[in-house]
Amino acid sequence: MAMIIDGKKVSARIKEEVRQEVVALKEKGVKVGLAVIIVGDDPASRVYVNNKKKACEACEIYSEEYALPAQTEEAELLELIDTLNKRNDISGILVQLPLPKHIDEKKVINSIIPEKDVDAFHPVNVGKIMIGDFDFLPCTPAGVMELIKETGIEISGKECVVIGRSNIVGKPQAMLLLHQNGTVTICHSRTKDLKEVTKRADILVAAVGIPKFVKADMVKEGAVVIDVGMDRDENGKLCGDVDFDEVVNVASAITPVPGGVGPMTIAMLMRNTLTAAKKMEN
């Protein structure tokens, strides 16, 4: 039976560390502030934004929310970002994705100055992650790395397999594992003999967006399995990309859904916002 990696516990510890540093900065007269922009009324996005607001309160980070109607023009959104870029009391800017179809997502991401891009989606920050000289890490992959660290397993020299190649999770996740000297394979919808590849993994990260996609016969005995997925099963119940009930009997350590990677993503956002404030101060 696998060790269950408790993302709630680890995230609570990180948020408390952030809170202590935020308080120390406040005493020096430095404000740590996060601006969150949401366009439209996507229910999942609203849940994420509310969770971010709660985390800011827990970490004593000043936050502003801009809830814009779905019909907001692209120019208006870019103007708001430009204003926030120039404000000294805002350390980080986050635009909740997805955006309505008439707004160019790439243009919006590129309009946030790299120093305030706490999601680490700007091409400058992506490039820095590639060469291993970064200020911020994308929140979900950074959270995954913290959870692997929690297991006590050494990444160096291990076979690491990432299922999924998105710009937000899959690609940066592979880079972070590579920086820790893992031997990394990225799998995707065109991968041949997927099961053969995943069965080699000492560390398996599933970020494919398909409910219960990873079955026990795809996992090496004793592997560490990190489930990035946030899906709903046939009964509408929250589940991940890994069939937890099957894989828990094969893996040595596994993250649950919910309560695994999800809380970590927001904790790492808080850490990035703090980092941005410290860099601005210097």
**Catalytic one among 15, 52, 158, 212?**
52
SS3 113: coil
Cα–Cα distance list, 126 to 117, 147, 198 (Å): 11, 22, 26
Q: What are phi and psi of 189, to 5 degrees?
A: -65, -20
**Among this protein's residues, is 173 annotated catalytic?**
no
Closest CA to 98 of 45, 58, 54, 28: 45
**Catalytic one among 15, 116, 117, 119?**
119
**Among this protein's residues, is 20 annotated catalytic?**
no
Token pair belonging to 161 = 């397999």
How many angstroms separate the CA atoms of 67 and 46, rounded? 9
Q: Are 204 and 159 in contact (CB under 8 A)?
A: no
For 239-250, letters b (16+ CB in 10 Å) and e give: bbbbbbebbbeb
How many angstroms separate the CA atoms of 111 and 88, rounded? 17
Provide the annotated active-site residues.
Answer: 52, 96, 119
